[in-house]
Amino acid sequence: LQKLIHLLQATDDPLIQEQALITLSNSAAFSVNQDIIRNLDGLSVIGGMLSNCVPKVKEKALNALNNLSMNIKNQEEIQVFITQVCGTVESAPLNSDVQLAGLRLLTNLSVTNDYHQKMINSIPCFLHLLSEGTERTQIQVLKVLVNLSANPAMTRHLLRAQV
């Protein structure tokens, strides 16, 4: 895992980055690896890939963070990327793999009320995706919205959102 994280930092080759992210994502299926990746500063390295201009690299980084977000301690570190992930969801092509990967990560990060405030500005986007997206996109957006709606503090923001 340490070598993969180092490789991810050391290369500019999108194919190598994509493969390293896939491997890290698969490794994150095991909780012990989730802790190891966090302790090796892997979350910030993977999060740094969110600004990559290659859509496949960005998608794989979102997938890796999604798998890593199953751990509460990892969520505490990953939450710093919520605004960036929301921006990615908003700017990605409609129904794209990048958009869906971002929505899946936001779904996991919105299971608890801890980070809902960071998603408020994206509520209009979520509602737009609900009306314009394909069924896959709509289902993923609904998961985020259901999580947000379970928080009484979000009611006003959800009802006042301009669509």
Which domain CATH number covers 20?
Answer: 1.25.10.10
Q: Say yes or no: 108 and 137 in one domain.
A: yes
Q: Say yes or no: 115 and 52 in one domain.
A: no
Q: Say yes or no: 91 and 153 in one domain.
A: yes
| pLDDT value at residue 163 | 74
Q: Which of 79, 99, 118 corresponds to the end of one domain?
A: 79
Q: Say yes or no: 110 and 69 in one domain.
A: no
Using an 8 Å Cβ cutoff, are 89 and 48 in contact? no
Q: Say yes or no: 63 and 128 in one domain.
A: no
Domain residues for the domain of 58 are: 1-79
CA distance 141 to 136: 9
Q: Say yes or no: 92 and 134 in one domain.
A: yes
Cβ burial 100-111 (10 Å sphere, 16+ → b, else e) = bbbbbbbbbbbe
Q: Say yes or no: 88 and 156 in one domain.
A: yes
Q: Say yes or no: 85 and 154 in one domain.
A: yes
Q: Say yes or no: 139 and 102 in one domain.
A: yes
Q: Say yes or no: 1 and 67 in one domain.
A: yes
At 65, is the secondary structure helix, strand, or coil? helix
| pLDDT value at residue 115 | 97
Q: Within 10 A of 159 (CB to CB), how many other CB atoms are there? A: 9
CA distance 35 to 32: 5
Count of structural domains within the chain: 2
pLDDT per residue of the chain (163 residues) written in tens, 0 to 9:
999 999 999 999 999 999 999 999 999 989 999 999 999 999 999 999 999 999 999 999 999 999 999 999 999 999 999 999 999 999 999 999 999 999 999 999 999 999 999 999 999 999 999 999 999 999 999 999 999 999 999 999 999 998 7
Q: Say yes or no: 90 and 51 in one domain.
A: no
Q: Who's near 84: CB < 8 A, 6+ residues apart?
A: 47, 50, 51
